[in-house]
Amino acid sequence: MPKARFLLMSATLGDTRAIETDLAQRTGLDVAVVKGAKRPIPLDFRYSKAPIHETIDRLVRDRKAPVYVVHFTQRACAEQAQALMSINYCSKEEKKAIQEALRGTRFDTPYGKELKRILSHGIGLHHAGLLPRYRLAVEKLAQGGLLKVIVGTDTLGVGINVPIRTVVFARLCKFNGVRVRILPVRDFQQIAGRAGRAGFDAEGSVVVQAPEHIIENARLEDKAKDGKRNKKKFVRRKPPQRGYKHWDEETFQQLVHRPPEALEPRFAMSHGVLLSLLQRAADRRRAGEAVPIGGGVRMALDLIERSHAPRRQKQEMRAQVRTLFESLVTAQVVRRVPMREGSRCTDVLIDEELQEDFSIDRSLGLWLVAAIDALDPEHADYALDMISLVEAVQEHPHPVLRAQVSAIKGRMVAEMKAAGLDYDARMEKLEDVTWPQPKGDWIREIFHLYREGHPWLDGEAVRPKAVLREMLASWSGFNEFVHEYGLARVEGVLLRYLSGCWRTLSKGVPEVAKTDAVIEIEQWIRALLARTDSSLIAAWELLQSDEADALGLDLGERQVDISEDPRRFKARVRAELQLLVRALSIGDDAEAAVLCGEGDWTEQRVRDCMQPFEEEYGQRPIFDHRARLAHRTLVEKTGPHQWRVVQTLLDPEEHDEWSVIARVDLRSDTDPPGRIVDVVDIRGA
């Protein structure tokens, strides 16, 4: 930042002396610090010993809404929002305005109907377990002043655009991934600072609830004093044994008045960062721009030197850069070439066989490339085994894995009871049950062998699981899988996990390793994501573009045209139609109507189309490996960026007389984030 003149800062930086010194050294200029503790919208702070529903009700009646109630788990948010529905916060006119604002918003996932009921009461819900489009709907209602109460996690403190007058902390302790701790001062002040809307409120309010057992004991004490309860029978409630760390009014006062903790640098070097810098250097050289001697490696070393990391950590990262670079060369992701014939100076080129947007966005990304080389492309399970490797580098979606374990245990208990095993024997067998891990032992074995030669992976671990692979076993739709495992309240967790798998498969797996079966799976996941929430794909593509801009990468100015890659384009068409055929086969006509795309498709229209098929064959179309064969999908070009598509349905007698007739029109957008197939008709010969 040697040319910086203005720097916008947060209100929760704490001690800024280190930042001031660093800026002066980097720019050679005097640094002027503007400090002010006075907020334009003052806050009042209160510690409440009333039950939380009474606190919220009083705040709404005292015209201190919108109220944001902060919990630190998604489950607590959902339960709180459900409990608040017993109180009527909105008038009939206000509820009507909410219904009008929600017109056109789809609530067609398992949790959608429940969320819509909650929103209709003037209560919002906001946490990472919700689909992105549902969170956007909540934010839209809040911006319109239509929600009286919003229950959510601490996402409030990370910049979501929700106008709030009052913030209520349901608790002050939070699990930080290692243990339960009191909320840091910075986090508390960041969240509390969202109270009070400039231009709307004269002041904002922050309320912190006392622990629930303290509130309950105070209530019991009051009853005992009033003679309503025999003091001999009075038993004090104990604090929770798990997930709790005590706080009181003194804790609350410290969080209000103490300065925020000092900022700590988090910079780290990785394969992804180094590869991006190597690409940047290559792009600059092709453009005729000056590149430092050493290219991307030199740029990485300079970046480390300019970082705020301690001296010892910088030394470790400098050594790590060279190790990471050699591993990229060994994996043939990059290669050294002479800068000119006979020269001892070398340049670094990205392997031409890698796709242009190849990236390593995970610490185990390079291991994944090496592990894929160990698979046999001719093996029948090559594509599924690749999916197992892709899943092994993803973070665990814990609610989904717990649901898988619960389902396995349920089936085992039923089988063991039928076999006559006693209770103790059943419990012993259930102790070692874990989630499905196809090829788990082999994955761990090759990882341990790889780690021996790559010391920077010390402390890393693969995480075998089979969420996506299980879905692929039956080609289950998103809603099907959510229903099967009872994941309605954590739909967003599943969606985010599948999105991570898709990104790794599409960007982190070398194109030369992708067989037709792998491309089919890649496009099927994309179609599944687009059907569930296309905003996730759009956001990812925007993020990719923003990251490229930030790193100075040249992705070209031309508009992406998905039809220029015929193999991937046809696979995407087939993937969307397979989701539709799957829905038709299981009789989910409401889902099928959505998958038909634009037009006047309704659940009843789909049912009417399929009735003659059922009358002729006595069942719905078959959906198995035969129904997914590529030759059953005909894609014919009818004009510039226009295609006619015919998907032949599989009947039990294999007459192949029934088809889904559809069209693809890319004239207005050659790279749409959502669906590209629109169904025209479903009919027999």
Angle between helices 478-485 and 491-507 (to 10 degrees): 130
In the DSSP assignment, the letter for residue 31 is -
Distance, CA of 308 to CA of 106 (rounded, Å): 46
Taking the CA atoms of 484, 485, 488 and 493 in sequence, report the sign of the dihedral they define.
negative
- Over residues 82-95, the mean pLDDT reads 94
Question: Is the pLDDT confidence value at 361 over 70?
Answer: no
Bridge partners for 174 per DSSP:
181
Q: What's the pLDDT band for 591 if we cut at 50, 70, 90?
A: very high
Locate the domains of the chain by residue range: 1-38, 43-257, 271-350, 371-551, 597-684
Torsion angle of the four alpha carbons 317, 320, 322, 323, in this order, in degrees rounded to the nearest 10 = 180
Distance, CA of 207 to CA of 196 (rounded, Å): 13
Order across the sheet with 633-639: list the strands: 633-639, 642-648, 658-665, 677-684
Question: Is the pLDDT confidence value at 682 over 70?
Answer: yes
pLDDT of residue 322: 87
Q: In terms of DSSP bridges, do strands 204-209 and 43-48 run parallel, antiparallel, or are they unpaired?
A: parallel
- Over residues 384-411, the mean pLDDT reads 96
User: How far is residue 255 CA from its own chain's centroid?
Assistant: 30
Q: What are the E-state strand segments in 352-452?
A: none
Torsion angle of the four alpha carbons 305, 310, 311, 316, in this order, in degrees rounded to the nearest 10 = -80
Please determine, looking at this structure, whether the domain spanning 43-257 carries the CATH number 3.30.1180.10.
Answer: no
Distance, CA of 363 to CA of 461 (rounded, Å): 10
- Over residues 153-171, the mean pLDDT reads 81
Cis peptide before 260 (omega within 30 of 0): no
Q: In terms of DSSP bridges, do strands 642-648 and 633-639 run parallel, antiparallel, or are they unpaired?
A: antiparallel
Task: Please state, in angstroms and as integers, the Cα–Cα distance from residue 239 to each residue in 51, 90, 394, following that order.
Answer: 16, 35, 36
Q: In terms of DSSP bridges, do strands 633-639 and 346-350 run parallel, antiparallel, or are they unpaired?
A: unpaired
Q: pLDDT (tens digit, 9 = 90+) per residue, 491-511? A: 999 999 999 999 999 989 999
| Pair 160, 126: CB distance under 8 Å | yes
Run of H or E including 70:
strand 67-70
Distance, CA of 577 to CA of 678 (rounded, Å): 10
Write down the mean pLDDT value for the chain.
88
pLDDT top residue among 176 and 80: 80
Distance, CA of 344 to CA of 347 (rounded, Å): 10
Give the predicted TM-score (pTM) of the model: 0.83
pLDDT of residue 550: 46
Q: Which two tokens stand for residue 192?
A: 């509390």
Distance, CA of 531 to CA of 579 (rounded, Å): 9
For residue 613, the SS3 value is helix
Distance, CA of 116 to CA of 131 (rounded, Å): 13
Most confident stretch, 286-300, 366-380, 526-540: 366-380
Q: Is 598 exposed, middle or buried (0-12, 13-18, 19+ CB in 10 A)?
A: exposed
pLDDT of residue 553: 44
pLDDT top residue among 540 and 312: 312
pLDDT of residue 50: 96
Q: Which two tokens stand for residue 215?
A: 């509130």
pLDDT of residue 557: 45
Question: Is the pLDDT confidence value at 70 over 90?
Answer: yes
Distance, CA of 426 to CA of 481 (rounded, Å): 27
- Over residues 613-631, the mean pLDDT reads 95
| Pair 251, 172: CB distance under 8 Å | yes
Q: In terms of DSSP bridges, do strands 180-182 and 173-175 run parallel, antiparallel, or are they unpaired?
A: antiparallel
For residue 671, the SS3 value is coil
Question: Is the pLDDT confidence value at 545 over 60?
Answer: no
pLDDT top residue among 36 and 49: 49
Q: What's the pLDDT band for 685 if we cut at 50, 70, 90?
A: confident
pLDDT of residue 6: 63
Distance, CA of 261 to CA of 575 (rounded, Å): 50
| Residues 6 or more apart in contact with residue 311 via CB below 8 angstroms | none
Distance, CA of 6 to CA of 82 (rounded, Å): 46
Residue in 465, 585, 481 with CA at minimum distance from that of residue 528: 481
In the DSSP assignment, the letter for residue 146 is -
Distance, CA of 316 to CA of 321 (rounded, Å): 9
Bridge partners for 123 per DSSP:
149
Other residues' Cβ atoms within 10 Å of the Cβ of residue 531 = 22
- Over residues 501-522, the mean pLDDT reads 94
Distance, CA of 129 to CA of 495 (rounded, Å): 9
pLDDT of residue 160: 65
Question: Is the pLDDT confidence value at 551 over 50?
Answer: no
Q: What's the pLDDT band for 452 if we cut at 50, 70, 90?
A: confident
Q: What's the pLDDT band for 376 if we cut at 50, 70, 90?
A: very high
Residue in 493, 586, 580, 446 with CA at minimum distance from that of residue 111: 493
- Over residues 521-534, the mean pLDDT reads 93
Q: Which two tokens stand for residue 368?
A: 């994944």
Distance, CA of 678 to CA of 661 (rounded, Å): 9
pLDDT of residue 21: 83
Q: Which two tokens stand for residue 499?
A: 């999105």
- Side-chain half-sphere CA neighbours of 603 within 13 A: 6
